[in-house]
Structure 1
Amino acid sequence: MNQPSEIGENVVIGENVTFGENVQIGNNVVIYAGTTIGNNVIIQDNAVIGKQPTRAKASILPDVKHLPPAVIGNGVTIGTSVIIYANAEIADNVFIADLATVRERVTIGESTIIGRGVAVENDCKIGKCCKLETNCYITAYSELGDYVFIAPCVVTTNDNYMARSKERFGKFKGVTVKAGGRIGANATILPGKTIHEDGTVAAGSLVSKDVQAETIVLGHPAKEFKKVPQNQLLRNQ
């Protein structure tokens, strides 16, 4: 079995962790049992990989006793103080910047960038070649297609009942952003809304209805502004 090519101080590695070739590990890193780490991976100081989720006593989420280990692909960079939970699957050449969190049952496609302080909550699917910029929030049960762009401080939501009434149980629904969708800085997307292919949300907008393909929306609430210019469409890049 391979061993890390570089390893810092105070590193904790659980049982049956599998390493590829040329893995670099910084100081104070914790890697939980069973985690799989590919070739040419960089794990920087204070990162935690494969953490089992904990559940608040008042949580409505199901109590899961033990999840499968995390899987980290080839060429992945994991920044300082990143936390990646168990049952997360990170594809090849993903970059996860400092202080980001990737929760359980999340998949991230190849060559995607997860920016500084980004939170990807449980049960999300992120496509390939996406860019999620600093401090954006991807709510649980969301799905982002390939080549999606999320600007800084975007907020997505999944609970129309805002934590009141039992009616909300079983009705949580994240957002869907289809291939090439783009969301500008500080926009808010309400639960269950879909941004269709190449749909674009202007900065600061509140999305309360689905965004149609190749359409720019803006405002509070967001309304159609104009069509996305031809030279901006994903197929023309």
Structure 2
Amino acid sequence: MKVTQGEGSAPFIHSTAVVEEGAKVGDFTKVWYFAHVAPGAVIGENCSLGQNTYVERNAIVGHACRLGNSVSIFSHVELEDFVFCAPYMVFTHISFPRAAINRHAVFKKTLVKTGTTLGANSTVVPDITCGVGTFLAAGATLTKSSKDWSMMVGTPARQVGWVSAFGEKIDLPLSGCGEWRCKHTDDLYVLDGAELIRHPGPKDILKYEPGRRLVRMEVR
């Protein structure tokens, strides 16, 4: 891939970064110091790849994702839009690795859905799905699929609550019935049994609009 300096809508690739031929990097994306994007990797628009990040061949990073320093997105990992991977979080390839055994043919897919946050030094094991808006706390280890909007803490991670798309703890129990409205976005969250359903407000902050520079909502 030709290295560009972010003119117009073109991605910005730092001079120390390596973006190999065959990789796809979307408009408005920034690839910072010593990052490495392998052939066949796909990165969407308006992303930020921090220092020492690595995106392996056939990995998929959606639009408006932010990868903190030293995060690696391996093959068979797919991030949807607006995913935040905090510094030093880890995806693993297989559950029981051995140096003497080649298991490349049996890698399992990991899907991280829109709006998810994966905290610093957290770990996500393979063959699971992070539900929409999952909030995995710093240092936690996610060993099974998570519910939409769940707050997961500990090792192994367990659900302790719910977190909104804006990033606030939702004042609802883990199960039952109830409603909660975000004062910042006017999103309505409805608890139905053990599932939380989000009804976006007038301006859905998790609805990506392609082809334009992203302006993120600011907290003041």
Q: Give TM-score scaled by structure 2 length.
A: 0.71
Q: For each residue in 1:127-157, what CA deviation from the matched residue of structure 2 results, as whole angstroms up to 9, or x when unmatched?
A: 1111111111212221000011000000101
Q: How does 1:42-57 map to 2 (within 5 A)?
A: 42=5
How far 1:80 sits from its partner (Å)? 3.0
SS of 1:42's equivalent in the other structure is coil
- What is the rounded CA distance, in whole Å, between the counterparts of 1:166 and 1:202 in structure 2? 32
**Partner of 1:49 in structure 2?**
none
Q: In the alignment, residue 226 of structure 1 is paired with which amino acid?
A: G
How far 1:206 sits from its partner (Å)? 0.7
Is 1:223 aligned to residue 186 of structure 2?
Answer: no
- Given the alignment, which residue of 97, 105, 109 partners 1:170? 105
How far 1:228 sits from its partner (Å)? 1.1
**Partner of 1:104 in structure 2?**
39
Q: Tell me the C-alpha RMSD between the 2 structures.
A: 2.3
How many residues matched? 171
- What is the rounded CA distance, in whole Å, between the counterparts of 1:132 and 1:96 in structure 2? 10
Query: Where do 4+ consecutive residues of structure 1 move more than 4 Å?
Result: 164-167, 233-236
Contact 1:154 1:183 in 2 (8 A): yes
Larger Rg, first or second structure (1 or 2)? 1
Contact 2:136 2:153 in 1 (8 A): yes
How far 1:85 sits from its partner (Å)? 1.8
- Given the alignment, which residue of 91, 100, 105 partners 1:156? 91
> RCO (CA 8 Å, sep 6+): is it higher in 1 or 2?
2
Q: In the alignment, residue 181 of structure 1 is paired with which amino acid?
A: T
Q: Give TM-score scaled by structure 1 length.
A: 0.66
- Given the alignment, which residue of 197, 200, 203 partners 2:132? 197
Q: In the alignment, residue 156 of structure 1 is paired with which amino acid?
A: F
- What is the rounded CA distance, in whole Å, between the counterparts of 1:136 and 1:171 in structure 2? 23
**Partner of 1:179 in structure 2?**
114
- Given the alignment, which residue of 77, 80, 102 partners 1:145? 80
Unpaired segments ≥5 residues, structure 1: 1-34, 44-72
Contact 2:55 2:73 in 1 (8 A): yes
Contact 1:122 1:141 in 2 (8 A): no
- What is the rounded CA distance, in whole Å, between the counterparts of 1:163 and 1:230 in structure 2? 39
- What is the rounded CA distance, in whole Å, between the counterparts of 1:230 and 1:79 in structure 2? 31
Contact 1:178 1:195 in 2 (8 A): yes
- What is the rounded CA distance, in whole Å, between the counterparts of 2:16 and 2:166 in structure 1? 39
- What is the rounded CA distance, in whole Å, between the counterparts of 2:9 and 2:164 in structure 1? 36
How far 1:36 sits from its partner (Å)? 5.5
Q: For each residue in 1:92-144, what CA deviation from the matched residue of structure 2 results, as whole angstroms up to 9, or x when unmatched?
A: 11100010011121111111111111111121111111111111121222100
**Partner of 1:78 in structure 2?**
13
**Partner of 1:129 in structure 2?**
64
Is 1:206 aligned to residue 141 of structure 2?
Answer: yes
**Partner of 1:118 in structure 2?**
53
- What is the rounded CA distance, in whole Å, between the counterparts of 1:96 and 1:167 in structure 2? 31
Indicate the percent of aligned positions where both proteins have the same amino acid: 26
SS of 1:170's equivalent in the other structure is helix
Contact 2:41 2:60 in 1 (8 A): yes
